[in-house]
A and B are shown apart, each in its own frame.
Chain A
């Protein structure tokens, strides 16, 4: 189960990289980066998964005394929560810059924007 999630995550990273490198439209590149970002998060969550264990929330089913043997690793989950929020911020920034570039040149084609090319 964790292996399926991990392989899917890695595939999403590859799809995202392919999309970001093969497309010329800036908006498509941003979408591709979001796909790769999702893949990274999936891989991280899959690493924290352990067979036969449950979510790291204590209640009647998981008393605090047996927690260490009943729950999955909470640290990757906390990491991914952070990564998702930062991912949203990065996407918003990319969209804002894409808008600015469009305003300047009237085109979202990356080959029209040659200022930083050498």
Chain B
């Protein structure tokens, strides 16, 4: 009882802080200095139509590299924490009921479409809403569908690790090429910026986002696979 009362008091306190924030909030009328710099310079300097992508991949590219690293660490720790000893791996498995015609056929039909959509989303990140992280999550959802249709399915950890580490190393390599050939680390102008609004434009942004998409897809898949392998079969 006392616990609940303390909890409600605490929430009322935080709630009144939030209320103060909301009541005194005045929305900006114009963009602030940083935002208007991005709005004015993106098309001319980087050739990217999607300003959010330009910020994430080029202006704050180092942060994205850090973010991908955090994601890699998370996937590695999930794998480490859930790693099973050799002795449990070989124990007799329970017979699972069949997944059903609808799920099996649905998976077969949808899997290539989902993968194609994921690739579309991360390769068009500089033109449309979307990008590497969203596309990677879509790729991983295809993996989830496969796991749903057959929970006993096992994926090759080696393949996932290979895709992930290749994409990561290429990402850093493109960043270093930016120092050598253009203005600085992760500068996208190592390739010509091309015609504004076309698929092969905005320099290295589509390339970097494709790599990020593959890496994020591999990391999410590795988390899903690690979590699914804990299932008692």
CB pair B197 A59 closer than 8 Å: yes
Asked whether A31 is an interface residue with its Cβ less than 8 Å from the other chain, the reply is: no
Interface string of A55-87 (1 = CB under 8 A from B): 111110000100111010111011001101110
Asked whether A95 is an interface residue with its Cβ less than 8 Å from the other chain, the reply is: yes
CB pair A58 B49 closer than 8 Å: yes
Asked whether A21 is an interface residue with its Cβ less than 8 Å from the other chain, the reply is: yes
Q: Count A-side interface residues using an 8 Å CB cutoff.
A: 45
Asked whether B101 is an interface residue with its Cβ less than 8 Å from the other chain, the reply is: no
Query: Of all chain B residues, which has the CB nearest A85?
Result: B133
Query: Of all chain B residues, which has the CB nearest A86?
Result: B70
Residues of A within 8 A of B129 (CB): 55, 57
Q: Count B-side interface residues using an 8 Å CB cutoff.
A: 58
Binds A, one of B39-47, B106-114, B115-123, B149-157: B39-47
Assembled-state Cα–Cα distance A84/B60 (Å): 17
Query: Of all chain B residues, which has the CB nearest A10?
Result: B18
Assembled-state Cα–Cα distance A90/B60 (Å): 22
Asked whether A96 is an interface residue with its Cβ less than 8 Å from the other chain, the reply is: yes
CB pair B81 A96 closer than 8 Å: yes
Assembled-state Cα–Cα distance A82/B40 (Å): 23
With A14-B15, A74-B39 known as contacts, the answer to whether A58 contacts B27 (CB < 8 A) is no
CB pair B52 A81 closer than 8 Å: yes
B70 CB to closest chain A CB (Å) equals: 6
B140 CB to closest chain A CB (Å) equals: 10
B152 CB to closest chain A CB (Å) equals: 18
Query: Of all chain B residues, which has the CB nearest A78?
Result: B55
Binds A, one of B89-97, B160-168, B176-184, B222-230: B222-230
CB pair B22 A86 closer than 8 Å: no
Residues of A within 8 A of B44 (CB): 64
Residues of B within 8 A of A88 (CB): 137, 220
Asked whether A17 is an interface residue with its Cβ less than 8 Å from the other chain, the reply is: yes
Residues of B within 8 A of A69 (CB): 30
Assembled-state Cα–Cα distance A21/B14 (Å): 14
Assembled-state Cα–Cα distance A34/B194 (Å): 41
Query: Of all chain A residues, which has the CB nearest B44?
Result: A64
Residues of B within 8 A of A49 (CB): 27
CB pair B38 A64 closer than 8 Å: no
Assembled-state Cα–Cα distance A75/B35 (Å): 7
Query: Of all chain B residues, which has the CB nearest A69?
Result: B30
Contact of B52 among A14, A21, A56, A84 (CB under 8 A): A56
Question: What would be 24 A-B contacts, judged by CB atoms less than 8 Å apart?
Answer: A2-B27, A3-B25, A10-B22, A22-B7, A49-B27, A50-B29, A50-B31, A51-B27, A56-B39, A58-B50, A67-B40, A68-B30, A68-B31, A74-B52, A75-B55, A78-B52, A78-B55, A81-B131, A82-B56, A90-B74, A92-B74, A92-B75, A96-B227, A99-B227
Interface residues of B (CB under 8 A from A): 4, 7, 10-11, 14-15, 18-19, 21-22, 25, 27-32, 34-36, 38-40, 42-44, 49-52, 55-56, 60, 63-64, 67, 70-71, 74-75, 77-78, 81-82, 127-129, 131, 133, 137, 196-197, 216, 220, 223, 226-227, 230
